[in-house]
C-alpha cells in the first residue's frame, strides 16, 4: 500500500481543522443593552464616532456555551481522535502483513523446517495477522495425522478470528458517530427549554435578550459539536472498514502462497 494514501487523510483532516479554527477563532459580539432599557429604531443615545467595541470571544468561549452536554461531546471527540490515530498506526500493510516475515516463513516451509517456522511465528517481533494465521495452520499440520487435509480449515478459522478482532476495534468509532448527534440533540432540546422558560417567567415583563440568546446559543452550539464529531468519526469508520477488507483479502492470498508447499507433502 502506498504510504501517501495512508497519510493523505490525516493531512486533509488537519487542514480542515486549521481552516475551521482560523475562520471561527474570534468574533466581535456587541454587548446586550442594560436591563430595563428598550430597543428603539430612533435611538439617539449613541454619539457618532463614539462606538463601543464589543468584547471579543474566542472559540473556547463559544464551546463553553455548550455546557455539560458540550463537554461530554468534547470528550467523545478526544476518544475518537485517539482511536483514529491508533488505527492509522496499526491497520497498515507493514503491520498486518510484514513482507520480511512472509518471505522468511515461505523459505522455511519450502525447506521443510516446520518447527522452526512455528517458533518464528511466536517471536514477539514477528507478531502479526499473517504470522498468527500461518502458525495456526502449521500447528494443525504438525499435530494431526491428516494435517495436510486439515491445515486449510485451521487457516480459515484463524483468519476469521483475526478479522473479527479488527472489525470489533471499529465499533468505538461507529458508536461515537451514532451517539454524538443524539447528544447534540439533547443539548438543543435543553437549550430551547431554557429559552421558553425564560419567556414564560418574563410574561409580564420584557424578555431579556441576553438570557434568551444564551439559551438559544447553547442549543445551536451542541448541535454543531455533535455534527462536527459524528461526521469525521463515520468517515474514518468507513475508511478503516474498507482498508480492513482490502488487507484481509491480500493476507489470505499471501498465506495461501506461503502454505502451498504443505499440500505437496503427504
Residue 130 lies in a domain: yes
- Model confidence over 37-62: pLDDT tens digits? 443 434 444 444 444 444 565 656 66
Provide the CA 122 distance to its chain's centre, in angstroms: 31
45 located within any domain: no
Is there a domain that residue 120 lies in?
Answer: yes
Strand partners, 28: 56
Residue 179: inside a domain: no
Name the domain count of the chain. Answer: 1
Mean pLDDT of the chain: 76
Q: Which domain holds residue 145?
A: 93-167+254-264
* pLDDT classification of 86: cutoffs 50, 70, 90: very high
Question: pLDDT tens digits, residue range 206-256?
Answer: 555 665 666 676 778 888 889 999 999 999 999 999 999 999 999 999 998
Instruction: Decide if 182 contacts 75 (C-beta within 8 A).
Output: no
In a domain, 228, yes or no: no
Q: Is residue 37 part of a domain?
A: no
- Mean pLDDT calculated for residue range 168-193: 89
Distance CA(233)–CA(245), nearest Å, equals 18
CB-neighbour burial class of residue 139 (10 A; exposed 0-12, middle 13-18, buried 19+)? middle
- Classify residue 1: in a domain, yes or no: no
Return the pLDDT at 25. 43
- For residue 189, the model assigns a pLDDT of 83
Residue 137 belongs to a domain = yes
Amino acid at each position: 500500500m502506498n504510504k501517501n494514501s495512508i497519510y493523505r487523510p490525516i493531512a486533509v483532516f488537519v487542514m480542515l481543522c486549521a481552516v475551521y479554527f482560523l475562520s471561527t477563532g474570534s468574533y466581535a459580539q456587541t454587548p446586550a443593552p442594560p436591563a430595563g432599557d428598550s430597543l428603539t429604531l430612533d435611538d439617539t443615545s449613541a454619539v457618532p464616532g463614539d462606538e463601543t467595541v464589543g468584547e471579543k470571544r474566542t472559540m473556547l468561549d463559544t464551546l463553553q456555551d455548550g455546557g455539560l452536554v458540550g463537554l461530554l461531546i468534547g470528550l467523545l471527540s478526544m476518544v475518537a481522535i485517539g482511536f483514529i490515530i491508533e488505527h492509522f498506526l496499526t491497520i497498515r500493510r507493514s503491520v498486518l502483513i510484514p513482507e520480511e516475515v512472509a518471505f522468511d516463513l515461505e523459505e522455511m516451509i519450502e525447506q521443510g523446517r516446520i518447527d522452526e517456522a512455528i517458533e518464528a511465528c511466536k517471536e514477539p517481533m514477528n507478531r502479526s495477522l499473517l504470522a498468527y494465521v500461518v502458525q495456526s495452520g502449521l500447528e494443525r499440520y504438525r499435530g494431526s495425522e491428516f494435517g495436510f487435509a486439515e491445515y486449510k480449515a485451521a487457516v480459515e478459522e484463524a483468519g476469521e478470528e483475526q478479522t473479527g478482532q479488527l472489525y470489533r476495534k471499529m465499533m468505538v468509532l461507529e458508536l461515537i458517530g451514532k451517539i454524538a448527534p443524539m447528544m447534540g440533540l439533547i443539548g438543543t432540546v435543553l437549550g430551547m427549554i431554557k429559552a421558553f422558560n425564560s419567556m414564560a417567567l418574563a410574561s409580564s415583563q420584557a424578555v431579556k435578550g441576553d438570557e434568551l440568546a444564551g439559551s438559544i446559543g447553547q442549543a445551536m452550539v451542541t448541535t454543531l459539536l455533535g455534527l462536527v464529531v459524528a461526521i469525521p468519526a463515520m468517515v474514518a469508520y468507513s475508511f478503516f472498514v474498507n482498508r480492513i477488507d482490502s488487507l484481509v483479502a491480500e493476507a489470505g492470498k499471501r498465506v495461501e502462497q506461503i502454505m502451498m508447499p504443505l499440500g505437496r507433502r503427504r
